Structure 1
Amino acid sequence: MKLNQNMSNLVSVSIRNLSQVREARKNYKNHLRVYNAFTRFFSISKDTDSKAVEQDTRSDWNLDSYISESHKLEAWVRRDLNIVLVEPRIPQNVGAVARTCAATGVRMNLIGPMGFSLNDKKMKRAGLDYWPHVCVKIYDGWGEFRSFYESLSEPKRLIAFSARADIYYGAPEFQYQSGDWLLFGSETSGLSDEVTDFVRQTQGKVVKLPIRDGFVRSVNLAVAAGVGIFEAIRQLDEGAHIVHSRDRDPITAAAALEQGRKRMKTILSAEEKLARDDPMK
């Protein structure tokens, strides 16, 4: 009787173990199916991304090819604002700034020597496919840019961004004006004394971004440039800034924005005249 009971217990244990084995095998197959699905998905994503990177970083790409076409963008770019990168060292930063310039219509000026070549794949990748919409001019060195700037007859002013400045970059402490050129130095050393001295000699301004500098010396070049550009645009377009739909022709949008600026100037002039003629004063 005892032997039969032991045999019965052994059979019960074996059946339970067999059920557990079957359940484990079933779970394993399910996990394997999920694993294979994820493997295929990420393999396809990796291949697709690699093809996109390869297309975007083809070896025959060169910024010079877009510089020669920049004159075609004159109807679209802003005439009241420029950005200047002095001796940038990191190509991704230049690409990011180029993307911002394409989005805002601000002309980009690059002063050498730079820390990379004009056909750098990382710079191209950071700017994505927006390069045909960037108006860019390149100078061999500070002396060439200085000569070009001094030859300009229209209203102009240099605004240098430096961590060593005493004036904050934004309103109400600082006001931008039409014809401003925003200067940003290299990622490693910023703007040289030669540049900042020239800025002050030409009645320009040296400003800074407010940061907690106990641990950080400065912010990223592309971030600083973006902050400066959008604050300048916010002030210059005050009361006339219009957000357009994606499918609107950019040249038409730029013309509409210019009309908005003119209307706002007319309104402000009328208000100033009324204030001057107010008999209650």
Structure 2
Amino acid sequence: MVKKINIVLYEPEIAQNVGAIIRTSKAVNAKLHIIEPTGFIFDSRFLKRASVNYVDQSDIVLYDDWSQFINKNNNPVLFCSTRYGVKKHTDFNYKKQIDSEKEIYILFGKESTGIPKDIIINNKETSFRIPMHKDVRSLNVAVSVSIVAYEVVRQLDFENLELFEYQKGKNFIL
């Protein structure tokens, strides 16, 4: 059985970002965990445009708070995306994690303040930063989720993902 990767959003603040992350989660067959409170009302009306209507088709779990997330997921190993990370997101062997029958949980913080420092300190060895130009402080969280999620599925050889042929109208022939 193929295990899904788990994308975890810590108290996201912007509905459009979450909508885009729902779309990415669906594209890579990931389970999306959202830890409340959010900065918006979690309702498909607010997420519909950015998620391209994948809200109802996606594997999404909402948690009241951090403690509930930790307890319901049996204190998972967390890979933390943070500006304080000293490793790159590509430095980890995600396939080894799956091979050892552990699930992959990738944590992203809220847009304004990121992941709380106590969580980062407790997950220092699995914290990372996406490399970027020195004049750029951070990337949009939806972009960061896409970059990291596709690195994980690349390492898993894109298992259960496929290229598909465009079907509407005439196919473009190269």
With normalisation by structure 2, the TM-score equals 0.82
User: What is aligned with 1:243?
Assistant: 162
User: What is aligned with 1:211?
Assistant: 132
Gapped regions of structure 1 (runs ≥ 5): 1-74, 248-281
Q: Give the fraction of aligned pairs with identical amino acids, expressed as a percent.
A: 30
Paired with 1:197 and 1:222, the residues of 2 have a C-alpha distance of 24
Q: Give 2:79's match in structure 1, choosing from 141, 159, 165.
A: 159
Do the aligned partners of 2:4 and 2:31 also contact (CA within 8 Å) in 1?
no
Aligned counterparts, 1:136-215, within 5 A: 136-150=60-74, 157-170=77-90, 173-176=91-94, 177-178=97-98, 179-200=103-124, 205-214=126-135
Aligned counterparts, 1:5-44, within 5 A: none
Larger CA Rg, structure 1 vs 2: 1
**Deviation, structure 1 residue 245:** 3.2
Amino acid at match of 1:218: S
**Deviation, structure 1 residue 131:** 1.9
Amino acid at match of 2:40: F
Amino acid at match of 2:58: V
Q: Give 2:153's match in structure 1, choosing from 233, 236, 244.
A: 233
More helix by share: 1
SS of the aligned residue for 1:133 comes to coil
**Deviation, structure 1 residue 246:** 5.8
User: What is aligned with 1:64?
Assistant: none
Do the aligned partners of 2:78 and 2:107 also contact (CA within 8 Å) in 1?
yes
More strand by share: 2
Amino acid at match of 2:157: D
Paired with 1:180 and 1:118, the residues of 2 have a C-alpha distance of 25
With normalisation by structure 1, the TM-score equals 0.52
Gapped regions of structure 2 (runs ≥ 5): 167-174
Report the CA distance shift for 1:246/1:188 in structure 2 as closer, same or farther (over 3 A): same
SS of the aligned residue for 1:233 comes to helix
How many residues are paired up? 160
Paired with 1:110 and 1:242, the residues of 2 have a C-alpha distance of 23
Query: What's the C-alpha RMSD, in Å, of the aligned pairs?
Result: 2.2
Paired with 2:105 and 2:28, the residues of 1 have a C-alpha distance of 15
